[in-house]
Chains A and B, each alone.
Chain A
């Protein structure tokens, strides 16, 4: 529905990440590089998953459980990749600290580490939004719109944008939680990210049912809100701990 609607859908999915980018990430060049590399990593993981699943696609079934298996396997793979990401980050942190010692500047602060985690998560989220929403948006710039019968109240593009926004939030902040969990060896935080990711993925299966998006999308946003709250509490706790320690 015209260029304005197309831009509107794009901003709906990516607006918060754009403001996060401009406000936090664009100030520090290293974070921009982190966003780009994590985007690349996420896309590569998608390529790997789709290479594996290519033999079975397209799924010619009306049952929902093959999609469930698809989502399960993808989430498991991506969470494994998150652990790998963490290992690489640990090594990078050592390199950065050594560099900081060499140029006699302070080592990475806690806020720096959290910002790197945020940038990593944002890269994942942006990749998801671009891949699952923006790539479908091209027809939205034309003169008409499109409705799906199973979710006929709102245009398809709007649904996909809204779902993408939920996932962007989840990806961004679960990365912060997960990195903190790995750093502090906190089991709850470590398991929080995979569980939330899996649940959110499975919740989208509800959209397969007729009229399901009315239930599925609010539940997805409930998960996103849960992630936000947990991340906020964790960050606050860490920062006050750090403050009191200093």
Chain B
């Protein structure tokens, strides 16, 4: 059953709202539990450069002083942001990235460290200074790594962004009261202007980054989903087939992600199912309908065909030969299946159905049977795995085919090597204890290779 829209609406809003809410909740908890005595001497920070608020001033004095403070702070931030934009414009990106890492290190280390220390003091946690130092160092270094490296799981990165937010927010609560309120309003207004107004520095920065198609060299929270929502996903760069184990009733056609189409997409997000088309007698390209993986209409379809005629129902993987041709720009080599059919196909008695496809510049549809039992047409359920691998190598070999006619001996060598490699792998898999279906897949593969090899003339 297809998922309802209820599962996907509002995803982005929640993706942004939840870290903000978590951050706010944790800051409130932190400040509430620490609740440091406010009678400590007010420290002079960037936010109260001009006016140091003390409780004994009158209201108007405090208001004026707070406004002045906020103005100075906002001007300061605006200047620094413009400097950032300038540096980015003149391609000092490396410097910016290193500065980002340094600032993350600094914030996590010093400000985070002081929060840790006050926590330890407040709750009298028995921990010695060396352990504390090591822990803080680990925390800081992992934070810096997660910010700039792409290999860190996104969840960790998001957690560190939230931690940075918590630390800076907790620092801001140390400011005197009036200054805090006025600064809040001033910063909100400045942010609106900086991001939305045409001359705003942040807007310029974002536009520059998107025009150069790079990532911003800044501490950005990415609200990506942290867990892949695909069942059984394992996106690799080739978009490997996920050969699923299916029960004997549902012949699931698992993902056939074509290498050429999905080369840039590592995820298994767009799975396409090879539609099952019997057709191979036409000379024009047959498009593959891409269907959802769990489409059950496909199953009765298949089984109806299975039962209809004993010999005629077979599953052919029909290439979008058009795609290949378009991409590679030539149509010279193709695999002719007419004379040399698959041994399996022959056994299924499909001779009369095939027409010879001429050698005139397009590929005929390849027909591969999907792991059928040789005698009868019972679809082999767990043979998907073997046939999945088989199909993968099949695709690879076709790729090499194309390159071969351009690349000459290179492709042939590669194909030979691949044949050897797969032969090795599959001979282990096809050993006496291997599953019969994997063996069958291997046999199909080797049949196919023989055909290829014969036609290349290697």
Contacts and interface: CB of A to CB of B under 8 A. Distances in A.
Contact of A33 (B5, B8, B13): B13
A115 interface: yes
Given A96-B9, A99-B9, A32 B14 contact: yes
A28 interface: yes
Contacts, number: 43
Contacts of B6: 28, 30-31, 96, 108, 112, 115-116
A27 interface: yes
Interface string A85-129: 000000000001001100101111100100110000000000000
A30 B10 contact: yes
A31 B6 CA distance: 8
A29 interface: yes
Interface residues of A, number: 19
B13 A99 contact: no
B7 interface: yes
A96 B9 CA distance: 9
Interface in A3-32: 27-32
B215 interface: no
A27 B225 CA distance: 12
Interface string B58-75: 000000000000000000
Contacts of A103: 5
A112 B6 CA distance: 7
Contacts of B13: 29, 33
Contacts of A105: 2-5
Interface of A is mostly: helix
A105 B9 CA distance: 12
Interface centre among A29, A31, A112, A116, by most chain B C-beta atoms within 10 angstroms, is: A29
B14 A33 contact: yes
Contacts of A28: 6-7
Nearest to A99: B5
A100 B10 CA distance: 13
Contacts of B4: 100, 105-109, 112
B414 interface: no
A28 B4 CA distance: 10
B49 interface: no
Nearest to A27: B7
A70 to B, nearest CB: 32
Contacts of B15: 29
B156 interface: no
Interface centre among B3, B4, B7, by most chain A C-beta atoms within 10 angstroms, is: B4
A32 B5 contact: no
Interface string B1-42: 011111111110111000000000000000000000000000
A107 B2 CA distance: 11
A3 to B, nearest CB: 10
A29 B10 contact: yes
A103 B6 CA distance: 12
Nearest to B3: A105
B5 A29 contact: no
Given A29-B13, A32-B14, A100 B7 contact: no
Contacts of A108: 4-6
A106 B8 CA distance: 12
Contacts of A116: 6
B318 to A, nearest CB: 25
A193 to B, nearest CB: 23
A99 B13 CA distance: 17
A229 to B, nearest CB: 27
A27 B3 CA distance: 12
A96 B5 CA distance: 8
Contacts of B7: 27-28
Nearest to A115: B6
A32 B14 CA distance: 8
A99 to B, nearest CB: 6
A32 B11 CA distance: 10
A105 B6 CA distance: 10
Interface string A63-100: 00000000000000000000000000000000010011
A105 B7 CA distance: 11
A106 B10 contact: no
Nearest to A138: B32
Contacts of B5: 96, 99-100, 103, 105-106, 108
Given A32-B14, A105-B5, A116-B6, 10 more contacts: A29-B8, A29-B13, A29-B15, A33-B10, A96-B9, A100-B5, A105-B2, A105-B3, A108-B4, A108-B6
20 contacts: A27-B7, A28-B6, A29-B8, A29-B14, A30-B6, A30-B9, A32-B14, A33-B10, A96-B5, A96-B6, A99-B5, A100-B4, A100-B5, A105-B2, A105-B4, A106-B5, A108-B4, A108-B6, A112-B4, A112-B6
Interface of B: 2-11, 13-15
Q: Which 10 residue pairs are nearest across A and B when measured between Cβ atoms?
A: A29-B14, A29-B10, A30-B10, A30-B9, A100-B5, A112-B6, A29-B11, A105-B5, A33-B10, A28-B6
